[in-house]
Chains A and B, each alone.
Chain A
Amino acid sequence: MSAKDRPAPEPPRWALRLAGLRAPRDQQEFVAGDLAEEFANRYREQGAAAARGWLARHLLRCLIGRHPGRWELDVPTRRGDVMSRLWQDIVFGLRLVRKAPLLSAVAVLTFALGIGANAAIFSVAWPVLAGPLAFPDEDRLAIVLLRNDRATPPKPNPISPGDYFDLLGAESFESMAGFNLYTQPLNLTGRGEPRQLELGTVTEDFFRVLRITPLLGRGLDTADFGSQSRTLVLTERSWREDFGADPSVVGQTATLDGEPWTVIGVMPTAATVGTVDVDGWLPENLSRAGAREQRSYYLSIVGRLGPGISLAEANAELDAIMARVAREHPETNEGISAQAESLRERLTGPVRPMLLLLLGSAGLVLVLAGINLSGLQIARNLARGQELGVRRALGAERGRLLCQLAVETLVLAALGGGAGLIAAAATLAVLRPTVAWHQAGASLAPASVAFAVVLTLLVGAIVGLGPGLLASRTAGLGGRRARGGTASRASTRLRTALLGAQIATSMVLLIAASLSGASLIRLIEVDPGFELEQGLIADLGSPSQGSSRIRFFDELVEGVEGLPGVERACAISKVPLDNDGAWMTYVAEGATDADRVAALPIGITSGCLEALGIELLQGRAFERTETMGVALVSESAAHELWPDDPSPLGRKVHIGLVSGPLLEVVGIVRDIRATSLESAGSMQLWTSASRGWPAPERLIVRTTGPSAPLAGPLRELLRELDPDLALSNLRTMRDIVGEATASRRFVLVLLAAFALIALVLSAVGIYGVLAHQVGQRTREIGVRLALGARRQAVARTIAGNVLAGVASGIALGVVLAWMLSSLLATQLFEMSATDPRAYLGVAGFVSVVAAAASWLPTRRATRVDPVEALRSE
């Protein structure tokens, strides 16, 4: 069979359609036919590859190659073929891009910055502010916590078992379940390297309240809550990471801290949303009998409101219940109320102001970009005044011209929007680790793309139509010659006003960024009361031999301190700023329950004060073999417990209430910022590891040099001491502080980036306006100079009204920033949002930048040679 007989395929349908896009509709059959025929000929004669190459080149030619001009003295385009007209406009727009690459690049980049910033922030904010939480009928879900009304400000508190059972009586809720707010790290062994699982405990109805169905197996049942029962539900994440996504995992045994537990189900990881982030759940055994006597506060309730019942109604009922409990048990419950808040509010409440701030800032950047683009368009349309005028004179309808100008801008907008989306995707990839502190995964979801497309079209249309209206009106004056002598007053005034708006917008962003920056520096410079510049922190879990716990920690600390480069080591229950810890109440000996003080208990072995660099103010630290009955009290806790005794060494304190066991105070230490860098004055009560609770399950090592080489020897040492223990989550204090400041750094980085973009856009704007004016007024300047005007006077005239625009922009910016300061205030740490230094500093900075941007064009104006300028006429 010769090549000639080989049947040639048709070009694809889309190719046939594309080729005919610019031809009149009734000619498309012939275009497609010619294309098919020529393609087939080439296919037979030159082979498939050559034919395809030709097809690709030819399609491009059909799309953007030159066609007979529409406004040549030709027949008007056929019968309103809108698509082909639109296409012609688009092609014309693309050709303009090619003709003025620099100007177009600036415009595309400006669009890209504006759209990209908004798409990125939207992607982060949308899932948090409006995205579904993954629970059916989730708007009826609420979280209940206690509220200590005597604390100022009243703050949410965990629930004790006694209050839990009373709150369960609330009838506003269709169903309620309890969960432990504090996770339990247990060591998983027998599946490769030992590893640690953070496990939560929940009551029977937990999964039913959330209405979440298991991926495998089942949730918890009544039978799982027996004292002998050992059942475990995994999250999907842990099932994949720790159990290799084994489909037959249900029914298998997992060894946790040396005991066998049966896996009964796998739940979607989403079930951790809004409650506690865990790897799996164990049954929380609560019994009504004796619950009142338990004085520990560690529970939270998740409830589903009954149909049609509002949160306010539910809260009224909870208040009534807690008021009754307070009457029955004034010793524990006076001043304690309960509060339900919607699950969504609990999840998004804390981050919402921040996200709104960032959304607003991104919006400002877009406004700024829009202003710059309008300026660019005005300048470009002015330069094209003659072309537009001629076309208008030849009978082009004004609407048609307007439409074309808009489409041209939209072409730029589409290029910019596309580039912006790519930039946003890249930014998100960089930001993703930073936004891990909230649950939403940030990615360019379809919603974000749709948002970017809508923004692009909107801004493109506004930016294209505004200046377009102006241009098409001027062009309507019988194709008059563009004014060559002086700048048109209307357009100059418009551009100066736009410039002022730009400066004001940049001012707002710069002020916000500098305030955030100053606030972050303050936060980082806060003295947290501890210091661990060089060292390691790791999670351990509890040793399997419960009885020899004390000996185990002694051996461990001794072993670690024997390693080279180790200065001090200890085990601790709560690493400052890191994991959560349950609060306890304490009562000074001789005082009443009403005088109880809430403090954070921290269990430690000896050496922790030195390892963490915490200052001992009075008394002594714990010794290697310490008895159970001693405590170290932080400064402010000591003051709360014994307000009149500056040196309460040797005095005693009850754990819980007066009925609780006594501890003897052997030392007073400085307060540390244990839960967050922001909150000062949290009180701590340090107990010896020998008490068992809170269990010291984390290791702190202070080293003399870099800590990284220590990881290997540490693991080896631990394996020798207890092969079932896993050393996990190795980190440094720098990591922990980094995480504690992550959200602030996130805000700062974005605000600073936005402010920088804004400043650059403004500088470009100032330069553009001035350079344009100088170019337009060269002849006027020449005349003035020829008539004896001094060069300084000329410079003043040229730069004068631009600088007036800058000055009014600065003033407007200060006012705007001041008006918006309350929005920012919530995000600042120990900083006033109206700090005059930031305002003055930014105003000065912007003035300098504005002066720098106007220097070059103004200088050019003063160097105009009058003879040259006049000769050019």
Chain B
Amino acid sequence: MKEIGKQVGTLGDFEQLVLLALLRLGDGTYGAEIRREIEERTGRDLAISAVYVTLSRLESKGLVESWTGEPKATRGGRRRKHLRVLPAGRRALGETIRQFQRMAEGLERELEAR
């Protein structure tokens, strides 16, 4: 089981969404911004806790890295967790999207029609 985990493999839908959002927002972004980005672009309103479950997964797979900021008054004295996509993350995302594209190739009209 652990072996499968280490091999990264394909990314789940949450992981894809979060990684894409990270790339759009650039280094140093944090959870609330990621959530907003996903909601604005896809209309999917993820639970905050779902975002962080995904982030900690990506982190332990070695796809993103994070650092903790200073306590902020607007957050009731809590800190922010800032994030950056690692090269492995870009590779995994790229691979997933390429797989997806290959599968979708030639189906454009079919998919449009629906």
Contacts and interface: CB of A to CB of B under 8 A. Distances in A.
B107 interface: no
B50 interface: yes
A65 B48 CA distance: 10
Given A40-B74, A65-B47, A75-B61, A34 B53 contact: no
Contacts of B78: 29-30, 32-33, 36
A10 interface: yes
A195 to B, nearest CB: 64
15 contacts: A22-B49, A24-B53, A27-B52, A30-B78, A31-B31, A33-B80, A34-B31, A38-B32, A65-B47, A67-B53, A69-B12, A72-B12, A73-B9, A74-B5, A75-B57
Interface string A681-720: 0000000000000000000000000000000000000000
A66 B57 CA distance: 16
A10 B74 CA distance: 9
Interface in B1-51: 1-2, 4-5, 9-10, 12, 14-15, 30-32, 35, 45-51
B79 A23 contact: no
B85 interface: no
Contacts of A27: 49, 52-53, 55-56, 81
A218 interface: no
A75 B60 contact: yes
Interface string A53-84: 00000100110011111001111101000000
B32 A34 contact: yes
Given A61-B45, A74-B57, A30 B52 contact: yes
Contact of B47 (A24, A58, A395): A58
B106 interface: no
Contacts of A468: none
B12 A62 contact: no
A86 B34 CA distance: 27
Contact of A62 (B2, B31, B47): B47
A470 B17 CA distance: 40
B75 A24 contact: no
Contacts, number: 112
Given A23-B49, A27-B55, A31-B49, 19 more contacts: A19-B48, A30-B52, A30-B81, A35-B48, A36-B75, A58-B45, A61-B47, A62-B49, A65-B47, A65-B50, A67-B14, A68-B15, A69-B12, A73-B4, A74-B5, A75-B60, A76-B5, A78-B56, A394-B1
A67 B56 contact: no
B76 A36 contact: yes
A73 B15 CA distance: 12
Interface of A: 10, 19-24, 26-27, 29-38, 40, 58, 61-62, 65-69, 72-76, 78, 394-395
Contacts of B30: 30, 34
A22 B53 contact: yes
B74 to A, nearest CB: 6
Contact of B79 (A26, A29, A62, A394): A29
B96 interface: no
A579 B55 CA distance: 79
10 closest pairs, A vs B, by CB? A33-B78, A395-B1, A33-B75, A23-B49, A27-B52, A62-B47, A61-B47, A34-B32, A67-B50, A30-B81
A75 B30 CA distance: 22
Contacts of B76: 10, 32-33, 36
A62 B56 CA distance: 16
Given A61-B47, A75-B61, A33 B79 contact: yes
A746 to B, nearest CB: 51
Contact of A34 (B1, B14, B35): B35
Contacts of A40: 74
Interface string B76-112: 1011110000000000000000000000000000000
Nearest to B9: A73
| Of A30, A31, A73, A74, most B-chain CB atoms within 10 Å | A30
Contacts of B1: 76, 394-395
Contacts of A36: 74-76, 78
B75 A68 contact: no
Given A34-B35, A74-B57, A67 B49 contact: yes
A23 B52 contact: yes
A68 B49 contact: no
Contacts of A72: 12
B48 A62 contact: yes
B48 A68 contact: no
A62 B52 CA distance: 11
B80 to A, nearest CB: 7
A34 B48 contact: yes
Contacts of A75: 5, 57, 60-61
A37 B32 contact: yes
Contacts of B51: 34
A68 B50 contact: yes
A68 B57 contact: yes
A58 B48 CA distance: 8
Nearest to B15: A68
A20 B49 contact: yes
Contacts of A65: 46-47, 50
Contact of A23 (B4, B10, B53): B53
Contacts of A32: 76, 78
A32 B79 CA distance: 10
A37 B9 CA distance: 34
Contacts of A26: 56
A437 to B, nearest CB: 55
A38 B75 CA distance: 9
A472 B69 CA distance: 46
Contacts of B74: 36-37, 40
A74 B12 contact: yes
A637 B2 CA distance: 94
A19 B49 contact: yes
A395 B2 CA distance: 9
Contacts of B2: 76
B60 A68 contact: no
B21 to A, nearest CB: 14
Nearest to B58: A75
B102 to A, nearest CB: 20
A67 B47 contact: yes
Nearest to A59: B47
Q: Which interface residue of B1, B31, B52, B56 has the most chain A CB atoms within 10 A?
A: B52
B86 to A, nearest CB: 16
A24 B52 contact: yes
Q: Which residue, of A20, A22, A24, A74, has the highest number of chain B Cβ atoms within 10 A?
A: A74
A31 B75 contact: no
A72 B1 CA distance: 11
Contacts of B56: 23-24, 26-27, 78
A10 to B, nearest CB: 5
Nearest to B12: A72
Contacts of B55: 27
Contacts of A68: 12, 14-15, 50, 53-54, 57
A32 B48 CA distance: 9
**A10, A24, A33, A72: which has the most chain B beta carbons within 10 Å?**
A33
Among the interface residues B4, B47, B76, which one has the most CB atoms of the partner chain A within 10 A?
Answer: B47
A376 B38 CA distance: 41
Contacts of A29: 78-79
Contacts of B75: 33-34, 36-37
A815 B80 CA distance: 71
Nearest to B4: A73
A31 B12 contact: no
A37 B45 CA distance: 16
Contacts of B57: 68, 74-75
A67 B9 CA distance: 19
Nearest to A16: B76
B27 to A, nearest CB: 17
A558 B12 CA distance: 96
Contacts of B15: 68
A594 to B, nearest CB: 91
A27 B28 CA distance: 17
